[in-house]
Chain A
Amino acid sequence: GQQVMQIPQYQHVQEGEDFTTYCNSSTTLSNIQWYKQRPGGHPVFLIQLVKSGEVKKQKRLTFQFGEAKKNSSLHITATQTTDVGTYFCAGVRDTGNQFYFGTGTSLTVIP
């Protein structure tokens, strides 16, 4: 079964609005990565989070790793049309050595 769940599955926003996607795991993760896949493209690495409670920022993107290391979020401030795509989280279980990709959140930005 799916190890890592993401919500929402789809999100439509007006350009300039904020966007958040959430990633939840049933087990503790040693680290989590986020990827972005543009329509027709392939996943591209965005960031990795390792520490409990870690927060990292990349311009308008803010990534958080939960205190219990079972969840993570990606928040985009003031979305732009270039943000369109599907955002995936990928987690590694504490006892594992492979990634479990989340189900992805498809973001549409309406100009």
Chain B
Amino acid sequence: KAGVTQTPRYLIKTRGQQVTLSCSPISGHRSVSWYQQTPGQGLQFLFEYFSETQRNKGNFPGRFSGRQFSNSRSEMNVSTLELGDSALYLCASSLVSAVNTQYFGPGTRLTVL
């Protein structure tokens, strides 16, 4: 089976812009979770989607949003980018729940200038 794919792999934006990141889970996986990874904060949970519904949400501002499509592919959007949003954004898929084994994608490296 193909692994989790994320596009784009690298992105450079400026403050105030918005960005959309995409994640395609492993075939058959219905749960998709998003994480933000920074050197100072480690891996922080953003949200989890299952069957096109947000099932869990971490402690991030409303500028961070996401959605899931009927084929389980997911997107996350960050509006009004801030310098502090520079990070590696990781998507992870699992069969039915984020508490099952998670399979991570390669991540999208976002740099905000």
Contact = CB atoms under 8 A, between A and B. Distances in A.
- On whether the two chains bind one another, the answer is yes
Interface of A: 2, 30-31, 33, 35, 41-45, 48, 88, 90, 92, 97-104
Q: Give the interface SS of chain B, mostly helix, strand, loop or mixed.
A: strand
Interface of B: 33, 35, 42-45, 48, 55-56, 58, 90, 92, 97-99, 101-107
A48 B101 CA distance: 8
29 contacts: A33-B102, A35-B104, A41-B106, A42-B90, A42-B105, A42-B106, A43-B92, A44-B104, A45-B101, A45-B102, A45-B103, A88-B42, A90-B43, A92-B99, A97-B55, A97-B56, A97-B99, A98-B33, A98-B45, A98-B98, A99-B45, A99-B98, A99-B99, A101-B43, A101-B44, A102-B42, A103-B42, A104-B42, A104-B43
Q: Give the interface SS of chain A, mostly helix, strand, loop or mixed.
A: strand
Contacts of A41: 106
B76 to A, nearest CB: 16
B105 A99 contact: no
B101 A33 contact: yes
A99 B106 CA distance: 19
A101 B104 contact: no
B43 to A, nearest CB: 4
